[in-house]
Structure 1
């Protein structure tokens, strides 16, 4: 719709031609002449009432209109002018700004920040060593996985709630939310890990408690847009892990580097939410923000975090000997390109909405945009899988089945995030939860050919979620 507010001032309104009445049989239709005079204004009008407002602003009375143009009043004349003038809404002088524009470097940085904490397991390997138990894994593995899954679920729900406060323009409210929620998540993750570890793995329980603290503090920094600060805090951890690849590092030095990075991240997170302590003094009451986002609205996002995390973990447990670490690293790094491509998709659909004249044309445009973005994400994921193979030169090369399962899992994760951006999180939760449950049952029952089972589960989930996305593509209200 064109902006006509600049046409409403007396200096820019077209003037109604003042002419004496002439016999209709000797002269052209006066309404046609008036339509030609006012063509630029009437062609851009979106309703006859705009034309009527113009006529009345020029001081034309109904008596004058009846005498000059032979119609009963200004509204009747406006309708005649509107009907006789084709619509020609002018394009804006400059292209409208894309609200979904995202910085590629910033998104890639987020993907790197997601992956770097995995180096903590490299530094902490001596602390986690022990006899192998189920699935040929050290006993500490399940302690760490339990704490991580709990943290992923809690922080996903907490991040949604904090982002909801930010979307209301209430940054103090987001800080207050993180100030209360992050420590609660740290405590919960540590208790879950301790319950799984028991007295047999005290070192693993301590490591998992540190992991929970990191997840809570880093979640605060990521929500508040402090990726660069988080990256700087991970420098000791990153440097130490890279050093262990070329030279043995004593356990005391490893522990010092782990604690240093964890302390830096925790301190930065605390400083980020510290202003929220002033808010808590008034029992959390903030003028104009007493009605914040509902707590129950964040629950589906927490469940999605748990389900998607369980899918990645179960893939690693079922295919550990085939270089699952490599696949997990590739998936984690791919979250940077995935986030950027999600923004590209939303921006592309918005442009398609402006350019399309029919719902069918809009649907074709969104389908093409989806195909480009999804193909781009799969290409990025495949490139990362091949690139990380250099870091594990002695790991078995992924077979077609394992590679297909990894790419199908990538489709599940990316379309799940896309459904969340549509506000259709319940569909993503249902599909991912069912897939995680099926994959977990396959592992517990020691199903034969775990790679084939995983491929079937991920492919079915990917097809289901693509179908959910396709059902929303043609609905303009889903792209707002």
Structure 2
């Protein structure tokens, strides 16, 4: 039969028509290629993308004709494009926000910073006495000596421990805290004892307890134990209850101090302190010094804000008066606003296309953040003045000085977050020295306003120079 193929026997026997054998996928080079490049082909929006992939794979037109039966890469790409269904990958999730901070945790830290201020109310019987030669109430000098020494040491220790944590070496951070916290408590207690005068031993004992608390709180805060520390400090809240017997205050102080120190000891003992990752570079000790000096300058400025309350009230216990409490309590919102500024500046860096536009965006953001912080500080100062027993009135001069000190603290912390701690430390320490000289020379009260204003202006200039550069905002 012309045009027919017969299989299976001689002519006249049962025959079956020939059915061409279908190639299995593994025998089909085109199917194999489609399977190999399936993900790339499925994500392509045009055959030309597939042709570029084929050419980048090193296939020539001669190979394509010999193996796949298509004249060129474009023809082969069209065939592959039609064979594979479109499947586009899900868009990548946005990168984690490096400056995200939960408002609740920042407010908790603000409470942890402020609650120790109530210790001065409970410990007021220990801080009474005749005025010193400088006109300060008895007990003020050892109290300030221990506090300032402790602030310098613990700020430096906190930075060094955080430096180890940033290198993913938590055991080294724990070792630094195990050694540094007790040593700092001992040194600051000795500093308080060295300037203790006749009849000031109760104040020196209070100052030593304060030094031990600062060391314990530093270890707990670095290791993220704000909540347990808050519960340890909660007994101090009874200091606002009127009419407490005199013996209750020292008992509550001892209970809270014992709880904080015990928590710190248990936390440090429970943390591994063995060798860290191999090859880790040890952070330089000198790098932590500017942070300690900034703590010194900022602490002295806060103390001078409180000294106005001391002179008006006449008791060293007012070292934690409404001005100092407002500043310490405001550190929680200040921390959150610092994180918001860093996050918003990164968003502005992605959204703007010119250096001028970025500088304008950053200037607007920093103005809003520092304005919000100063409003919060003013509200806290007003509330503290109304609630604090026998607190002096919040006069215009006192409020202006307090807000300028707050501006110094916030801009200094902002510069620290950009790694510009030396500049912030230099300005704050210079302002602290100027305030000290003004006090010793008997300068009038507006001198503090001038000094704080000059420091705030200098730090604002440093902030404008630094944050206006896009390269400074790299995460």
Q: 1:63 to 1:106 in 2, by over 3 A?
A: same
Residues 135 and 317, structure 1, Cα contact 8 Å, conserved in 2: no
Larger radius of gyration: 2
Q: 1:141 to 1:91 in 2, by over 3 A?
A: farther
Are 1:412 and 2:439 matched, yes or no?
Answer: no
Q: 1:142 to 1:356 in 2, by over 3 A?
A: same
Residue in structure 1 matched with residue 287 of structure 2 by the alignment? 297
Q: Distance in 2 between matches of 1:36 and 1:287?
A: 48
Residue in structure 2 matched with residue 464 of structure 1 by the alignment? 458
1:97 partner SS:
coil
Q: Distance in 1 between matches of 2:127 and 2:39?
A: 77
Q: 1:435 to 1:463 in 2, by over 3 A?
A: same
Correspondence list, 1:395-474, <5 A: 395-448=391-444, 450=445, 452-474=446-468
Question: What is the CA distance between 1:37 and its match in structure 2?
Answer: 4.5
Residue in structure 2 matched with residue 238 of structure 1 by the alignment? 237
What TM-score does the superposition give when structure 2 sets the normalisation length? Answer: 0.80
Question: What is the CA distance between 1:395 and its match in structure 2?
Answer: 3.0
Are 1:346 and 2:342 matched, yes or no?
Answer: yes
Q: Distance in 2 between matches of 1:394 and 1:463?
A: 33
Structure 1 alignment gaps of length 5 or more: 1-8, 18-34, 43-50, 70-89, 280-284
Q: 1:122 to 1:57 in 2, by over 3 A?
A: same
Correspondence list, 1:2-81, <5 A: 10-14=37-41, 37-38=47-48, 55-57=55-57, 59-60=59-60
Residue in structure 2 matched with residue 74 of structure 1 by the alignment? none
Deviations 1:231-283 (A, max 9, x none): 111122322x133x2x23132x332221111111001000111145753xxxx
Q: Distance in 2 between matches of 1:102 and 1:303?
A: 26
Are 1:164 and 2:191 matched, yes or no?
Answer: no
Q: Distance in 2 between matches of 1:250 and 1:421?
A: 44
Give the one of 252, 255, 260 matched to 1:257. 252
Residue in structure 2 matched with residue 221 of structure 1 by the alignment? 220
Deviations 1:152-207 (A, max 9, x none): 11110000011111111122111111001000100001100000114542212211
Question: What is the CA distance between 1:14 and its match in structure 2?
Answer: 4.4
Question: What is the CA distance between 1:52 and its match in structure 2?
Answer: 6.6
How much is the aligned-residue C-alpha RMSD, in angstroms?
3.0
Deviations 1:316-358 (A, max 9, x none): 3256446782111111110000000000001101111111222
Are 1:274 and 2:264 matched, yes or no?
Answer: no
2:40 partner SS:
coil
Q: 1:61 to 1:193 in 2, by over 3 A?
A: farther
Question: What is the CA distance between 1:312 and its match in structure 2?
Answer: 1.3
Q: Distance in 2 between matches of 1:266 and 1:463?
A: 40
Question: What is the CA distance between 1:108 and its match in structure 2?
Answer: 0.7
Residues 103 and 340, structure 1, Cα contact 8 Å, conserved in 2: yes
Equivalent residue pairs, number: 415
Give the one of 298, 304, 307 matched to 1:314. 304
Q: Distance in 1 between matches of 2:268 and 2:355?
A: 45
Residue in structure 2 matched with residue 189 of structure 1 by the alignment? 188
Question: What is the CA distance between 1:364 and its match in structure 2?
Answer: 1.7
Question: What is the CA distance between 1:429 and its match in structure 2?
Answer: 0.9
Deviations 1:87-135 (A, max 9, x none): xxx9956544322111111101111111111111111111221112245
